[in-house]
Each structure stands twice: as C-alpha cells, then as structure tokens.
Amino acid sequence: MGHCGWKWGFRGSGSPPRGTLAKLKIRFKETFFPDDPFRQFKGQSLGAKWALAAQYVFPILHWAPKYSLSLFKSDLVAGLTIASLAIPQGISYAKLANLPPIIGLYSSFVPPLVYAVLGSSRDLAVGPVSIASLIMGSMLRQAVYPNNDPYLFLQLAFTSTLFAGLFQASLGILRLGFIIDFLSKATLIGFMAGAAIIVSLQQLKALLGISHFTKQMSLIPVLSSVFHKTDEWSWQTVLMGICFLVFLLLARHISMRNPKLFWISAGAPLTSVIISTALVFAFKAQHHGISVIGELKKGLNRPSWDMLRFDGHYLFVAIKTGLVTGIISLTEGIAVGRTFASLKDYQIDGNKEMMAIGLMNAVGSCTSCYVTTAVNYNAGCKTAMSNVIMALTVMVTLLFLMPLFAYTPNVVLGAIIITAVVGLIDLPAAYLVWKMDKMDFLVCACAFLGVVFISVQDGLAVAVGISIFRVLLQITRPKMEVLGNIPGTDLYRGLHQYQTARRIPGFLILAVEAPINFANTTYLNERISRFIEEENAEAGKQHALRYLILELSAVSAVDTSGITFFTDLKKSMAKRGLEVAFVNPVGEVMEKLQRANEAHGFLGPDSLFLTAGQAVLSLSSLIKEPTPTQV
C-alpha cells in the first residue's frame, strides 16, 4: 500500500523531471508575471502585436477611437465637478505640505494630462492628496524649515517628487508591485485615521487664526500650542470657520445619506470659497483678523528641472521622502483603482498603473508639480477624458482667475481639508477588524497611535514592521493539529475542531500547516517531541505510540533545512521506537523527498501514503494488533 502516489501516476517518478532552468522559468513567471500580461499577444500577427503593445503602453489608444458624444457629456460634467473640488483642495494640500498654494494648482494641471494618456483606470482623477502632502511636508521639514529657506524647500519637494516617480515606475517595470501589498488593510485603517487626525490638527492654525503655531505635528505639541496661544485666537476667524465647517460637513452628510445628491457635497467647497471670498472682499475682513491667501501669480507651470538638487546631504533626504511618499500615494492610487475596476468588472494591471503614475510624477517634478496620485471622487467619470476637462478648467483658472483667490480666507481652506479627511476615519471598519482578528486590530491600533503620538512616518514604519513580524511569526510557529478519524468515514480531521473525531491508538497523526523551512524546523522538532510525550503520558503502557504520521497536504514548500528535518526526524523517532510515515506531500515537497531519498535512502517501503486513512490501514496491518475499524 505504500507509495500509493506512484500507482496513480505521480509525475515525480514516471515522466522525465523538468529541467532546473524550465522550473526556474515557471517560478519566475508565477512570481513576477502572475497576471500573464503578454497572454493577449499569443497567436497574433506582427501588426496586431504592435497595435496591442501600443494600446498596452498608451491606454488612450484603447478608448479614444470608441469615444462618443454621450461619453463626452458625462465626462464634461464629471470633469467640471472634479475641478471644482480639485482647485480648493489643491491649494489646501499644498499648504499642508508647506508649499506655496500655487504649486497645488500646478499639480492639478500637468499630471492629469499625463495620466489621461498613460493611465488605465476610467474612474480616477489625478491630483495632490492629503496624506502624501502631509508626509512630504513633515519629512522635508526635518532637513530644512520652509520659513527659513522656502526656495530650498521647494527644490527638495520637486527632487523628492522625481524620486517618488522614478521609484514608482521602477516598481512597475521590475514587476515588484506586490511591495505595496505589505501595507495591510488593518495597517491602512489605523494609519489613515491617524493621519486624518494629524491633518485636522494642523488646520487648527487656520481655524483659530493662530499666527505662531508649533512646527511639530503630533497630538501633544499641537494641542499644547493651541491652548498656550489662546490670546492669538481670533473670534472672527473662529466664527467663520465654524459656520463653513458645519455647512461643509452637512453637505457631506446629505450626500452620504443619498448618493444621488452627490452634487451637493461636490459643489460645497467651491461654493464656500466663493461665498467666503465675497464676504472678505465686502467687509474688508482681511483687516479684521481674518488671514487670506494673498496674491497668487497668474500663468501656467514653469519648467522646474533646473530646481532639482542632487547634492550630498539633501540627496538622502529627497530619496527617503520620495520612497515613502511614492509608496503611500501608490497604495492609495492602486487600491482605489482596483476597487473600482472590480466593481465595474474591468481589469487593472497594477504594475502597468504604477509605471503610469510614476511617469506622471517624474514629468510633474520637471513642471513645478509635487507628488500626485489618482483618486476617485465618485463624480461619474466615464473615461480619462474627464481628467483632460479638469486640467483645462484648472488651466483657465491659472490663466485668468488667480486674482480672485487673493481674498480667499485660509480658514475656509482649513474647513475644506477637515471635511475631506474626516472620511478617512473609518470606525465601522476598525470595529470589524476588532471583531475578526485581535492581532490585526493591534496592528491597526499601533499604526494609529504611532501616527498620532510619534510621527507619521514612524507610525507607518511600526505598523509595517508589526505586520511583517506577524507573518514571520506565523512561519516560525506553524500550526500543528492532532488528527483523528471521523467515525463512519475514512476522513481524518483536527480533534480540536471536530468533536466526533477520535484518536487511533498507537498512532499520532499530525497535520503541519505551513511551509517547512529554516525558520521553523527547530520549533517543529521540539513541538513534536512534546506531542509524543503528552500522548504517551496520556495513553499509558498498553497503547504506547508506534507510528508518527505527518500529514503534509498543507506543507506547500520545504527548503534544505526542511529536508534535514525529515531525515533527522526519522532517525530520532527510530531511537524512541517510533516509525514515521508521510501523507500526501505536494509537488515540490514530494520531489525533494525523493531526491533526499536518493542521497540518504531514508524512506522505507511504508513511508509514503496518499491519505491518512490509507496510512493507518496499511500500518495497522503490519502490527499484529487489533486494527481500528475502517470503512
């Protein structure tokens, strides 16, 4: 009965083994090209291949030929809506990153045009986002204070943007997109909520009209700054802030309740800007304690490649900032893109999308833009044309409407940002995480507390660290289950899980549920020893263990240490008078067991079985003892 696998045509022994190179090739493909992006090219003519390749690189070629008037109508409305959101948000986010407000508008002009040509999502609009802005501002501020040397700060911002773009594009080109998967959902929930609170706290400067605000970001210094400067609070600003904040939150609430009234929340920011600007202008409120944006220079983006700095000390800061903001903005962009693609049932190639976003940021860094990404505003975009409409609207604003912003009060921008980020605090999701998985909640809480009390980047680092440590811990401490027979069947299942499952006397059947490798062989050895001792202590003399059966169905891989573990286990168990049998090793594991067997000859005739049931049946017949009943 042993070696049942062969009877059913196990390929490891019968057919010639595939070569090392062929196997490496397959593994390489499954690792880096799991979505097989070149599948569509197969069996096409050369011309068709070129056309497909062009469409792959420039998705615009895919949708532009089929573009219709009805699509354009939707895109026009969507583009204008997005623009009305993007203009006040762009100004606000640039201020969040300690950059001149105009940079936010520049960043809503060039990148959307690039994305319209290269991007493959139909639902996303491009522009600066709150969290990447916050991180860039706080990381660069560690190297240079924006107030001391604003030009150097701007240079560093563009340089970081370039590195963010290059890094994003190379992740895509090297098919390493899975790196962003290491930001787990739980991490993101905690991180986003923390960041939203930090961003909102920063707005207290504008909302309370404080002019000497702390330069730090975490909760405690900001709050202490707020309450030590009560003499700087301006009641006019506070009043205006509360009114507009209530208005904006109300608009948001209405739109959330009834998605058809989306236009209310979409129009509210621009409405607020217009009304508040008019109020300031009418009452000359800028002379009564209300701070305003001030003069903004008319005109489109100027080239900025001469502002990129690659010298010594600042280079490292720029690279680090680029890496972190690049990853964070990718996470947002790709995650949102994937969600909408799966909702509307089309495919997004994450790696391709990373190249598009990366190239967009690289181009942006040379045209006075800072880091941007793709976000969804629920505005009903149909194609990337909506990005073009938005960009054109921003262009008109840049060319002709800049003087109007001179009287826009900062407090309204603060209210707009708070309204925008409040949605990042997702309490129901956090509660669901708590209900599902306490460890995940711990990760989530660490990210949140780290961001709020230490710093944005440290909170993120801690959360990612814990996530990875947890995965490693799962590997170092693989689960093992003692299996028992479910009466009336020849199934073997976990004793803990199935009440009716019962032990077979003389047998210890263990299911190992992880790849066996260097990180867990020591543990497995010790844990198996303990299982055997506990079993023997319980069973007593007459039913002493005779067989240890390892159910390997769930062992997806072994490495050299794992093979050594198997051979050593055979030997050490033999010393204790136990025989070891293996059940259902999967492909790679089976192959390596066989190769090890060729080298060491450690597998006896009754060492390999296809199911635990067969192993028990076959081995019981060897010992001349009453066999357990089998079906």
Residue choice 262, 498, 606, 618 for contact with a copy of itself (CB under 8 A):
498
Residue choice 217, 501, 578, 580 for contact with a copy of itself (CB under 8 A):
501
Q: Which of residues 420-439 bind a copy of itself (CB under 8 A)?
A: 432-433, 435-439
Q: How many CA atoms lie within 13 A of 224 on its CB side?
A: 8
The CA-based angle 494-519-515, given to 5 degrees, is 45
Q: Does 473 bind a copy of itself (CB under 8 A)?
A: yes
> Shortest approach of a copy of itself to residue 420 CB, angstroms?
25
**Closer Cβ to a copy of itself, 212 or 435, answer by number:** 435
**Closer Cβ to a copy of itself, 381 or 528, answer by number:** 528
Site string for a copy of itself, 155-184 (x = CB under 8 A): -----------------------x--xxxx
**Closer Cβ to a copy of itself, 94 or 514, answer by number:** 514
Residue choice 286, 536, 611, 618 for contact with a copy of itself (CB under 8 A):
611
Please, are residues 591 and 12 in contact by the beta-carbon 8 Å criterion?
yes
Q: Does 575 bind a copy of itself (CB under 8 A)?
A: yes
Q: Does 496 bind a copy of itself (CB under 8 A)?
A: yes
> Shortest approach of a copy of itself to residue 303 CB, angstroms?
37
Q: Does 554 bind a copy of itself (CB under 8 A)?
A: yes
> What single-letter amino acid sits at 579?
E
In angstroms, the Cα distances linking 556 to 328, 516, 588 are 32, 8, 8
Q: Which of residues 28-57 bind a copy of itself (CB under 8 A)?
A: 30-31, 34-36, 39
The DSSP-derived string for 199-213 is HHHHHHHHHHT-SS-
Q: Which of residues 3-22 bind a copy of itself (CB under 8 A)?
A: 5, 8-12, 14-15, 20
Q: Does 25 bind a copy of itself (CB under 8 A)?
A: no
Please, are residues 513 and 557 in contact by the beta-carbon 8 Å criterion?
no
Q: Which of 630, 611, 605 is nearest to 620 (CA)?
A: 630
Q: CB neighbours of 11 closer than 8 A, spacing ≥ 6?
A: none
Q: Does 187 bind a copy of itself (CB under 8 A)?
A: yes
The 3-state DSSP class for residue 580 equals: strand
Q: Does 592 bind a copy of itself (CB under 8 A)?
A: yes
Q: Does 320 bind a copy of itself (CB under 8 A)?
A: no
Please, are residues 631 and 606 in contact by the beta-carbon 8 Å criterion?
no
Residue choice 218, 331, 383, 467 for contact with a copy of itself (CB under 8 A):
467
Q: Does 617 bind a copy of itself (CB under 8 A)?
A: no
> Shortest approach of a copy of itself to residue 471 CB, angstroms?
6
Tell me how many residues contact a copy of itself (CB under 8 A): 97
**Closer Cβ to a copy of itself, 168 or 467, answer by number:** 467
> What gap in Å lies between CA 276 and CA 411, rounded to an integer?
9
Residue choice 471, 574, 623, 631 for contact with a copy of itself (CB under 8 A):
471
Q: What is the sign, positive or negative, of the torsion defined by CA atoms of 156, 159, 165, 169?
A: negative
> Shortest approach of a copy of itself to residue 64 CB, angstroms?
26
Residue choice 286, 536, 553, 627 for contact with a copy of itself (CB under 8 A):
553
| The pair of three-digit structure tokens given for residue 391, joined into one six-digit string | 């960009």
The 3-state DSSP class for residue 144 equals: coil
In angstroms, the Cα distances linking 39 to 28, 34, 48, 49, 50 are 16, 11, 13, 11, 14
The rounded Cα 575 to chain-centroid distance in angstroms is: 50
The DSSP-derived string for 281-293 is HHHTGGGTT--B-
Q: What is the sign, positive or negative, of the torsion defined by CA atoms of 129, 135, 140, 141?
A: positive
Q: Which of residues 333-392 bind a copy of itself (CB under 8 A)?
A: 338, 342, 345, 347, 350
Q: Does 331 bind a copy of itself (CB under 8 A)?
A: no
Residue choice 494, 505, 604, 628 for contact with a copy of itself (CB under 8 A):
494
User: What phi and psi values does residue 586 have, to the nearest 5 degrees?
Assistant: -85, 170
> Shortest approach of a copy of itself to residue 508 CB, angstroms?
17
| The pair of three-digit structure tokens given for residue 608, joined into one six-digit string | 């390999």
> Shortest approach of a copy of itself to residue 251 CB, angstroms?
30
Q: Does 535 bind a copy of itself (CB under 8 A)?
A: no
Q: Does 82 bind a copy of itself (CB under 8 A)?
A: no
**Closer Cβ to a copy of itself, 413 or 516, answer by number:** 516
> Shortest approach of a copy of itself to residue 427 CB, angstroms?
15
Residue 152 burial by Cβ neighbours in a 10 Å radius (0-12, 13-18, 19+): middle
The 3-state DSSP class for residue 127 equals: strand
The rounded Cα 58 to chain-centroid distance in angstroms is: 25
Q: Does 147 bind a copy of itself (CB under 8 A)?
A: no
Q: How many CA atoms lie within 13 A of 219 on its CB side?
A: 12
Q: Does 587 bind a copy of itself (CB under 8 A)?
A: yes
Q: Does 631 bind a copy of itself (CB under 8 A)?
A: no
Residue choice 536, 564, 618, 627 for contact with a copy of itself (CB under 8 A):
564
Which span (77-85, 155-163, 208-216, 469-477) binds a copy of itself, by CB under 8 A?
469-477
In angstroms, the Cα distances linking 203 to 99, 192, 199, 214, 524 are 15, 17, 7, 12, 54
